[in-house]
């Protein structure tokens, strides 16, 4: 049995607690959160103890730590946990500061402990099947990748203020998805963006709608479209045009009923948000992390993936500021 400590007891920690508790080879031993009440609530739901982070890290019987705290704590906690001999699964993004993330990468490498980054969308069954079909050459060579990623509604302004901005908080998933599908990072990125959903987001110094185009060494391209609002729900689609055809991953719908009448043909909306849409992916992500620990499998998404996605977010931010394409190697 792999004994697990959970750091953080917020929104996403609850999702991970479910995956940890329902896996046959892992046991959730303790949770820590600076918000003691949040830790207490999670602990009573999952039958684990409330401890502080230091106690969890000092406990030799705890094999692995899942970091689901606020983003500004990730690097520090990854360094502490790996130094204490724990395997780590850490939520995205690695950090808000690229330099700090690179320092963290070097420090954790020295410990030799496995570290996986929580880019859960790689474990979505549809996206994984699309990536596999492309890698098997089923549509020839990828020429144009399109990623659509729209949230149903913007988060509270208080969240926006500490999120690190749309590119690091939201589009970071799509940067990683592009790297996953293409099997490489782009050489050049170009961004346009504005706040057209909510003027308060602009006042907070962020954008809510953005398009990033990317070019690869072989001349192929990708486009990522993000919006913090889609009236019909959570829109998460992929499309790859290849030399021999097209691959598309469509939205998951609330149900599969299609109503056809003289007025037209109507289907259900996409599942509401990430908790609903990606629940199977979060479970598969935990399964993969457990395989790394128990079967010594390769880490499917590691610190290098986390750092490169953060560099792409930084490049997109810079491109928006200077109004020109930015080469990733310059970041
Ligand atoms: N992969 C995904 O789909 C996904 C989805 C949502 C959030 N996230 C990421 O997960 C992280 C948490 O997001 P959330 O939405 O759950 O936020 P949240 O605010 O609901 O929860 C974060 C929790 O961390 C606690 N915390 C902060 N600093 C701490 C510290 N030093 N020690 C212990 N606890 C501490 C807070 O008190 C809070 O309870 C963020 O980095 C976010 O980017 C990922």
DSSP string over 238-306: EEEEETTEEEEE-PPBS---EEEETTEEEEPPBPSSHHHHTHHHHHHHHHHHHHHHHH-PPPSSBHHHH
- pLDDT for 227: 98
Which atom, in ligand 1's list, is nearest to the CA of 39? Answer: 39
Domain with CATH 3.40.50.720 in the chain: 2-113
- Helix axes of 74-83 and 98-111: crossing angle, nearest 10 degrees: 10
Residue range 282-292, pLDDT digits in tens: 999 999 999 99
For residue 329, give every residue at least 6 positions away whose Cβ sits within 8 Å of its Cβ, in sequence order, or none: 187
Q: How confident is the model at residue 278 (pLDDT cuts 50, 70, 90)?
A: very high
**Mean pLDDT across the chain, nearest whole number?**
97
- How confident is the model at residue 115, as a pLDDT? 98
Q: Which pTM value belongs to this model?
A: 0.96
**214: β partners:** 189, 222
Q: Where does 122-273+308-330 sit in CATH, by number?
A: 3.30.360.10
Quote the CA–CA distance of 331 and 317 in Å, as a whole number: 11
User: Looking at residues 227-243, what average pLDDT do you find?
Assistant: 97
List, for residues 34-79, the tens digit of each pLDDT value: 999 999 999 999 999 999 999 999 999 999 999 999 999 999 999 9
What is the per-residue pLDDT for 88? 98
Please name the residue that has the structure tokens 């792409």. Answer: 312
| Closest of 240, 208, 212 to residue 143, by C-alpha | 240
CA distance 164 to 202: 13
pLDDT tens per residue across span 146-176 = 999 999 999 999 999 989 999 999 999 999 9
- CATH number for 2-113 (one of 3.40.190.10, 3.40.50.720, 3.40.50.2000, 3.30.460.80): it is 3.40.50.720
Distance 258 CA to ligand 1 centre (A): 38
- Residue with the smallest CA separation from ligand 1 atom 7 is 12
| Rg of the chain over all Cα atoms, to the nearest angstrom | 20
pLDDT at 263: 97
* 165 within ligand 1 shell (Cβ under 6 A): no
- Nearest ligand 1 atom, CA 119: 1
pLDDT digits (tens, 9 = 90+) for 86-144: 999 999 999 999 999 999 999 999 999 999 999 999 999 999 999 999 999 999 999 99
- Site to substitute for ligand 1 among 5, 7, 8, 90, most atoms within 8 A of C-beta: 8
Query: Measuring CA to CA, which residue among 320, 330, 290, 299 is closest to residue 1?
Result: 290
- Residue ranges, comma separated, of all CATH 3.30.360.10 domains in the chain are 122-273+308-330
Predicted confidence at residue 156, as pLDDT, reads 94
Contact between 300 and 287 (Cβ < 8 Å) = no
C-alpha 8 to ligand 1 mean position (Å): 6
End-to-end CA gap in the chain: 42
What pLDDT shows up at residue 105?
Answer: 98
pLDDT in tens, 315-330: 999 999 999 999 999 9
What percent of the chain lies above the pLDDT cut of 70?
100
């Amino acid at each position: 049995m792999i004994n697990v400590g959970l750091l953080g007891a917020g929104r996403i920690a609850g999702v991970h607690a479910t995956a940890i508790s329902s896996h046959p080879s892992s046991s959730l031993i303790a949770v820590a959160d600076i918000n003691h009440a949040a830790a207490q609530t999670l602990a009573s739901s999952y039958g684990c103890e409330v401890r502080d982070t230091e106690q969890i890290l000092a406990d030799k019987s705890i094999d692995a730590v899942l970091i689901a705290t606020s983003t500004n704590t990730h690097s520090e906690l990854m360094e502490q946990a790996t130094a204490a001999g724990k395997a780590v699964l850490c939520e995205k993004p690695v950090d808000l500061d690229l330099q700090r993330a690179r320092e963290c990468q070097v420090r954790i490498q020295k410990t030799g402990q496995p570290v996986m980054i929580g880019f859960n969308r790689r474990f979505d069954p549809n996206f994984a099947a699309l990536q596999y079909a492309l890698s098997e050459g089923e549509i020839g060579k990828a020429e144009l990748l399109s990623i659509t990623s729209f949230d149903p509604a913007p988060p509270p302004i208080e969240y926006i203020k500490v999120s690190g901005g749309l590119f690091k908080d939201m589009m970071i998933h799509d940067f990683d998805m592009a790297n996953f599908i293409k099997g490489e990072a782009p050489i050049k990125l170009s961004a346009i963006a504005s706040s057209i959903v909510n003027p308060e987001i602009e006042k907070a110094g962020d954008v809510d709608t953005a398009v990033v185009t990317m070019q690869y060494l072989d001349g192929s391209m990708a486009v990522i479209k993000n919006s913090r609002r889609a009236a019909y729900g959570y829109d998460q689609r992929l499309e790859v045009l290849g030399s021999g055809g097209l691959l598309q991953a469509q939205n998951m719908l609330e149900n599969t009923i299609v109503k056809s009448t003289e007025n037209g043909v109507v289907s259900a909306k996409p599942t509401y948000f990430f908790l609903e849409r990606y629940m199977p992916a979060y479970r598969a992500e935990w399964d993969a992390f457990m395989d790394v620990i128990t079967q010594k499998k390769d880490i499917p998404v590691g610190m290098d993936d986390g750092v490169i996605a953060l560099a792409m977010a930084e490049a997109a931010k810079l491109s928006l500021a200077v109004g020109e394409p930015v080469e990733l190697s310059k970041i």
